[in-house]
Amino acid sequence: MGFTLIKEIASYSSCITRLFVLESFLKDSRTTEIENLLRPNGTRTIVVEDGVLQRVGETKTPPPVAATVKCAGNGWDSLNGIAPTLLLVLDGLRDPGNLGTLVRSAAAFGADGIVVSGESVDIWNPKVVRSSAGLLWKIPIVASRDFKEVALKLREFGMSLVATIPNGGSQIDEVDLKSPIAVVIGSESAGIDEKALKECDFLATIPMRNSIESLNAATSATVALYEVVRQRGFANLK
């Protein structure tokens, strides 16, 4: 975690429990700004010597600040008190960069939450945290391996499941996305699992030039989310 990521999390969440700063950056204005954000929560600042963050970090050149953060819960109770009208369901998404990107897209387009299903990457993978730009703590995320359970739960919310597939579905702008829906995205290599596909109510395809086989998972989901908010008159963004 660097200055930008820690500042983003601190601006809307009280989940940061410790802030670690290199001694040479203790008086840096960026450190002071983060400390001011964390002060109401009583978060402690710990000064560390040069080389400490490099030993515990996962990047070759770690930033001069780090933090410990409480992981948000990822059960269905994450959606308590919400009557979702738009959810993003990721079935077997294994690329951490794609998952992090989709957390950002879901937050940007006003999704009420994300459901991670099947053999998907761990949502707390360090690359997911970095590529999500700290938004993992801003949008509810549910983890459930059983897609059938996911489908049943979403129907309890009164939602329809719309699967995005490369070919053979209705053109996505011709599918009615105004009612409560869950957009389902499959893995980068295999797409949506066949059993999961049978649980979906509608199949939608993003139109492309014939020479292009498919978009990657993050791009497909982002286009689909945009189409949802477009059909709803961008009400999700207000």
Indicate the pLDDT class of residue 1, thresholds 50, 70 and 90.
Answer: low
CB burial string 199-217: b at 16+ within 10 A, e below: bbebbbbbeeeeeeebbeb
- Model pLDDT, residue 137: 86
- Distance CA(46)–CA(9), nearest Å, equals 18
By the 8 A CB rule, do 149 and 123 touch? no
- Distance CA(199)–CA(151), nearest Å, equals 6
- Burial class from Cβ neighbours inside 10 Å (0-12, 13-18, 19+) for residue 232 reads middle
Helix ranges restricted to H, the chain:
3-12, 29-38, 52-56, 96-108, 126-131, 147-156, 194-198, 217-231
Indicate the pLDDT class of residue 49, thresholds 50, 70 and 90.
Answer: confident
Condensed to tens digits (0 to 9), the pLDDT of residues 138-181 reads 899 999 989 999 999 999 999 999 999 988 999 999 999 999 99
The pTM (predicted TM-score) of the whole model is 0.87
Enter the tokens of residue 109.
Answer: 């387009």
**Domains assigned to the chain:** 3-69 (no CATH), 76-237 (3.40.1280.10)
Lowest mean pLDDT among 62-66, 170-174, 182-186, 209-213: 209-213
Does 182 score more than 70 pLDDT?
yes
Average pLDDT value for residue range 17-37: 91
Condensed to tens digits (0 to 9), the pLDDT of residues 81-130 reads 899 999 999 998 989 999 999 999 999 999 999 999 988 888 888 889 88
- Model pLDDT, residue 30: 92
- Model pLDDT, residue 211: 65
Enter the tokens of residue 209.
Answer: 């030039």
